[in-house]
Structure 1
Amino acid sequence: MTCQVSRELEQLVLQARPYSAHGNLASYIPALEKANPNHLSVAIFDLDGNCIYAGDYKQKFSLQSISKVLSLAYVLARIGEEEVFQRVGMEPTGDPFNSIAKLETVKPSKPLNPMINAGALVVTSLIPGTNPREQWDGFLAFVRTLTGNQKIDYSQELQESEFTTSYLNRALCFFMKQHGIIVGEVEEIMELYTKQCSIEMNCLELAQLGAVFANNGRNPVTGEQLIPVQIARICKTFMVTCGMYNASGEFAMKVGIPAKSGVSGGILGVIPNRCGIGVFSPALDEKGNSLAGWKLLELMNEKYNFSIF
């Protein structure tokens, strides 16, 4: 594996960085307000094991909702599509990612897809294990394998910050438990979910993880099949239709690649059969997507013709 800075990418970072001035940090999670809003980094990891990067590429950030793709892949591989999709749907939603509205109007009261908070909470509740520690250890080992870094871990400070302020996510859990969509203890699910969201990595590690999905679930460095081909396909489809919250359609038009954002400012991009992309810039638009990160991906698409459409 060879990694080097890219002057072309550095120029695109310079063009995109000013957009961060128009965004805001995710204030509803206190620990996320400590981020530097001017950070912007990007890395591309191709299927030959080569990577290029630009910007503050060593800066770590939490995955937040990007982790929804990973937990989905993990659970689908271990308990199967039938069990998962009995409890969560496959359709996009025009509502905010943390909305409870559709749960009240859709029958049965299951979340529309696994990329919104309600759906991700269902998926997390399905992580196999006899106790929360076993569930967490198994999932973290999976994430470490995807990145090739056994030191990947979560931020305890961030996890505690999220856990103590996750009132709406608890409400979603209790609503779904009332309707039989979720089983198990809500506080245990919340602990596991906030740990999952608090996993930290840099954009280079995120890009390497993305390359696994781009390579149909196979590690491009070792050749090992880490995710079944069908499950990698399902995850990439959800990333196109639901991955950028309720701006997924606009993102598909302007950038045109499977992607998943998180309110820390990270964006995971996947270009099938070409490469994985990791982007980080913490200033967000009103829908929870990284402003400068989105603009950078637009500029990259114009230069490198990334769109799958």
Structure 2
Amino acid sequence: MHSPLFEQIYAECSKLEQYLEEARQFCDLGKVADYIPELTHANCSMIGLSLLDTNNKNIQLGEYSIPFTLQSISKVLTLILALMDHGEDVVFEYVGMEPTGDVYNSMLKLELVPPGKPFNPLINAGAIVITSLIKGDTPALKYERISNFVKELCGRTNISYNEKVYASEKLTADRNRSLAYFLKDVGVLKGNVDEHLDVYFKQCAIEVTCHDLSRIGMLLANQGVDPITKKEIFPARYAQIASTFMVTCGMYNESGEFAIQVGFPAKSGVSGGIIGFVPHQFGIGVIGPALNDKGNSIGGLHLLKQISKQFKLSIF
């Protein structure tokens, strides 16, 4: 049986179409990320939506099939993989569990709060440390494990990283290099900085679609279990940890406002993607490359606010 909530949304798809077109109008108020030059080529007015319930029933609207790069959404996935590799005791020796209230690439708290341990895994400093923890004897093997995990989560094998976005990000990543070398200096980041960053840039450049995000969200909603095959992709405990970080830190320094106005776990990326889910119900994938001043999809935020309000999706 499908969930009554999803069936209600499915029956009122015309409302979703209305909200999507309203959200498209907001895209003119934002701008695409320009600190990674390759991302400036994205279509500012593009917006897409995919919902996938735990019985594999799908709703797809707008430009849902156009690929885009994961960017910071990848941080949730590498966190889960690092937890699977090492367990939470080890992982949280290197990163904290608290929101910062700062922008995602800030160095401020690293310098003010000894011993320089990143506050959480979803800011850039924390995510770089998490990537360094992924098992693999070489950068290539680390990336291969991340790539294979993403493929399993998405349920398809034809997934790779966008070489132009990867090269563009690598060329302009002075802030991330600064973060990484600071972490190396204080002993939080072990090993070769450039090798860890290379893996990090590649994971951020992995290309997905809205449907892929909605499937990953659906797995999080279903506590890591593929409801069709009944296979456990990742443990329920790690789904819980990831979900909590998504609520407290997933939308950068707009996470509190998102929790109040939308009210379910979500994570954004500067390519304009947003992944979210309603626990035990369905996953959500959104793309809208035009960003607000916090780095979140301006059209995607409007769309999710309207959908949450209409169908009472908040978990709070």
TM-score bucket of the superposed structures, by smaller chain: over 0.9
> Residues 1-309 of structure 1: matches in 2 within 5 Å?
6-309=13-316
The offset of 1:270, in angstroms, is 1.4
Give the 3-state SS of the residue equivalent to 1:49 in structure 2: coil
Aligned-partner residue type, residue 199 of structure 1: I
Give the 3-state SS of the residue equivalent to 1:86 in structure 2: helix
TM-score by length of 1: 0.97
Bigger shift: residues 216-225 or 120-129: 216-225
The offset of 1:228, in angstroms, is 0.5
Separation of aligned partners in 2, 1:242 and 1:137: 27
Cα deviation, 1:142-166, whole Å, max 9, x if unaligned, reads: 1100010111111011101001111
Give the 3-state SS of the residue equivalent to 1:52 in structure 2: strand
TM-score by length of 2: 0.95
Cα deviation, 1:243-300, whole Å, max 9, x if unaligned, reads: 0000100000000000000000000011110010000000001110000000000010
Give the 3-state SS of the residue equivalent to 1:91 in structure 2: coil
Count residues with an aligned counterpart.
307
Aligned-partner residue type, residue 86 of structure 2: I
Give the 3-state SS of the residue equivalent to 2:46 in structure 1: coil
1:205–1:4 CA distance, 2 compared to 1 (3 A): farther
Separation of aligned partners in 2, 1:220 and 1:144: 17
Give the 3-state SS of the residue equivalent to 1:140 in structure 2: helix
Separation of aligned partners in 2, 1:223 and 1:260: 25
Bigger shift: residues 299-308 or 113-122: 299-308
Cα deviation, 1:205-233, whole Å, max 9, x if unaligned, reads: 11011100000011122211001010000
Give the 3-state SS of the residue equivalent to 2:16 in structure 1: helix
Unaligned runs of 5+ in 2: 1-9
The offset of 1:170, in angstroms, is 0.4
Aligned-partner residue type, residue 302 of structure 1: K
Over the aligned positions, Cα root-mean-square deviation in angstroms equals 1.3
Separation of aligned partners in 1, 2:232 and 2:312: 28
Separation of aligned partners in 2, 1:89 and 1:174: 19
Contact 1:4 1:51 in 2 (8 A): no
Aligned-partner residue type, residue 194 of structure 2: E
Give the 3-state SS of the residue equivalent to 2:167 in structure 1: helix
